[in-house]
Chain A
Amino acid sequence: MPKPNASWKEANIAGLVLEPGSAAEYETGTWRVQRPVHDADKCTHCMICWVYCPDSSIIVKDGRWKEFDYFHCKGCGICASVCPVKVEAHQVTGKPGKVIQMTDEKK
């Protein structure tokens, strides 16, 4: 990654990126205005959200849903839209809907 807030004299020439895979270090989580939240009790670990997440922000461990990667999650809401499992009262929001629900991002 280029040095954050590098001056024009310090910045890499022509915006060259000299390290491979450095997009991982870019915090796209700051773009989020809605935050997905998960109900661990009701999740069936079907992994449909993992398949659809465009930013690889559903973290899976040992075949089980583990957590959101909020450093990269842009809050697009696709996971909440595709999740097939319904809940009466969500563990986090208390509202009826799906295992993943979108909430307002508190900055």
Chain B
Amino acid sequence: MVVSTKRALEGAHASAHAMRQINPDVVAAYPITPQTAIVQTYSQYVADGEVDTEFIAVESEHAAMSACIGAAAAGGRVMTATAANGLALMWEELYIAASMRMPIVMSCVNRALSAPLNIHCDHSDSMGARDAGWIHIFSETGQEAYDNTIQAVRIAEHPDLLLPVMVMQDGFITGHAVELVEVADDASVQRFIGSYSPAHSLLDIDHPTTFGAWDLYDYYFEHKRQQTDALSKAMKVILEVGQEFGREFGRPYGAFEPYAMDDAEIAVIVLSSTAGTCRTVIRELRQKGLKVGLLKLRVFRPFPAAELAEALKGVKAVAVLDRSISFGSMQGSGPVFLELCAALYAAGSKTKAINYIYGLGGRDVLPVDVERVIHELKQVADSGEVTSLVSYLGLRE
């Protein structure tokens, strides 16, 4: 039986708490704002003997992910955490971890990438790594960061996948905000994640195995095909694990969370903490009779394209809020918007889609901003005309 307690925790501490309960074999990490609270708290657990983890205090994030890959190849359950420029410094290893099929779980506390130097939230860090082959799961709250971290272990280690998983939460807004988080007892978390025994490991000296060997034009292509196949199987596993988590801990998870979508004629799609602001505004506008709904996207990689197109059936116009820019893309739109446009096109959908870039470098997004989005979205739905494909929220024009 799961025994839960309510704790006042910062989002970053909720992630560290989940990591303590997971008790991985190896954590190799380097501190960077606003992820520092995770690494600092975890190293305290190690120093206090609360976990059995081998903690490797590395000299950079490049080394952190390298050590994680080595430890995972050696057969360990491995975790790390990073943000922003730290994630960027892992660039090379992100691809290697994914293509060597290392089920590493990493917290990413989303922060703007330099320059100019900024430590506050946007999604440009993890979005830059969106084609590296990782599974990307976004969290709205500290509770979700905790829940997603636990589920990520099961997802990553699933034998059909063996893929690394990034669990995101918004820097400062979620990472450093204290909220009530329901944490389970250690034994229940351990029971849920189970033990990990990889089919191949460097330390299995009875079955010597070479990892990451030279792979030329005669096999590389086949291995990439395997990799994309694993990601295409990931959604099924993510949904199964999300349902099982719900049965065990009372909070089920899907690829996205619909709110007021049943009879919605217009809809907003957003990631992470801004979903809370959107929900509040939508609740008020619903009372005024506006048929508006919300799809809070949780899983960005693999992208739930067909599922989102299905959820938007009957919706006349959708606004995607992006907290990063895909520079040089169609009208400089955001990555979620681009993916959604592709999904709608592939599904033959007639739903109009518009994009709002918001919150870069921690710029606050207020209810009045979301009201503007919904107001403009209503005009698109009524007229069937898109006058501005990409707009900016809260920007001084």
Q: In the complex, which of the residues B200, B220, B221, B222 contacts A16, with contact meaning CB atoms closer than 8 Å?
A: B200
| Contacts A17-B209, A17-B210, A18-B207 given; does A11 touch B200 at CB 8 Å | no
B212 touches A18 (CB 8 A): no
Residue among B213, B220, B229 with max Cβ neighbours from chain A (10 Å): B213
A2 touches B213 (CB 8 A): no
Instruction: Please report the C-alpha to C-alpha distance between residue A15 and residue B223 in the assembled complex, in whole angstroms.
Output: 7
Asked if A20 is at the interface (CB within 8 A of a chain B CB), the reply is yes
Q: Residues of B contacting A20 with CB < 8 Å?
A: 208, 210
Q: Residues of A contacting B211 with CB < 8 Å?
A: 14, 16
Which B residues, 180 to 221, have Cβ-Cβ distances below 8 Å to chain A?
200, 207-213, 215, 219-221
Q: Residues of A contacting B162 with CB < 8 Å?
A: 13-14
What is the total number of residues of chain B having a CB less than 8 Å from a CB of chain A?
Answer: 22
Q: Can you name the residue of chain A whose Cβ is closest to the Cβ of B98? A: A14
Q: Residues of B contacting A16 with CB < 8 Å?
A: 200, 209-211, 213
Q: In the complex, which of the residues B101, B212, B222 contacts A8, with contact meaning CB atoms closer than 8 Å?
A: B222
Instruction: Please report the C-alpha to C-alpha distance between residue A80 and residue B219 in the assembled complex, in whole angstroms.
Output: 34
B207 touches A11 (CB 8 A): no
Q: Residues of B contacting A6 with CB < 8 Å?
A: 219, 222
Tell me whether chain A's interface is mostly helix, strand or loop, or mixed.
loop
Q: Can you name the residue of chain B whose Cβ is closest to the Cβ of A18? A: B209
B213 touches A17 (CB 8 A): yes
Q: Residues of A contacting B99 with CB < 8 Å?
A: 14
Q: Residues of A contacting B200 with CB < 8 Å?
A: 16, 18
B209 touches A11 (CB 8 A): no
Q: Residues of A contacting B381 with CB < 8 Å?
A: none
Q: Residues of A contacting B208 with CB < 8 Å?
A: 19-20
Instruction: Please report the C-alpha to C-alpha distance between residue A6 and residue B212 in the assembled complex, in whole angstroms.
Output: 18
Q: Residues of B contacting A18 with CB < 8 Å?
A: 200, 207, 209
Q: Can you name the residue of chain B whose Cβ is closest to the Cβ of A2? A: B219
Asked if B226 is at the interface (CB within 8 A of a chain A CB), the reply is yes
Q: Can you name the residue of chain B whose Cβ is closest to the Cβ of A21? A: B208
A14 touches B209 (CB 8 A): no
Q: Determine how close the nearest CB of chain B comes to the CB of A27; give it in whole angstroms.
A: 12
Q: Residues of A contacting B219 with CB < 8 Å?
A: 2, 6, 11, 15
Asked if B58 is at the interface (CB within 8 A of a chain A CB), the reply is no
Top 6 A-B pairs, shortest CB-CB distance? A17-B210, A8-B225, A8-B222, A20-B208, A14-B101, A11-B222
Cross-chain pairs A/B with CB under 8 angstroms, 18 sampled: A2-B219, A6-B219, A7-B222, A8-B222, A8-B226, A9-B226, A11-B226, A13-B226, A14-B99, A14-B100, A14-B223, A15-B220, A15-B223, A16-B210, A16-B213, A17-B213, A18-B207, A19-B208
Starting from the known contacts A13-B162, A15-B215, 8 additional A-B residue pairs (CB-CB under 8 Å) come to A2-B219, A8-B225, A11-B223, A14-B226, A15-B212, A17-B210, A18-B207, A19-B208
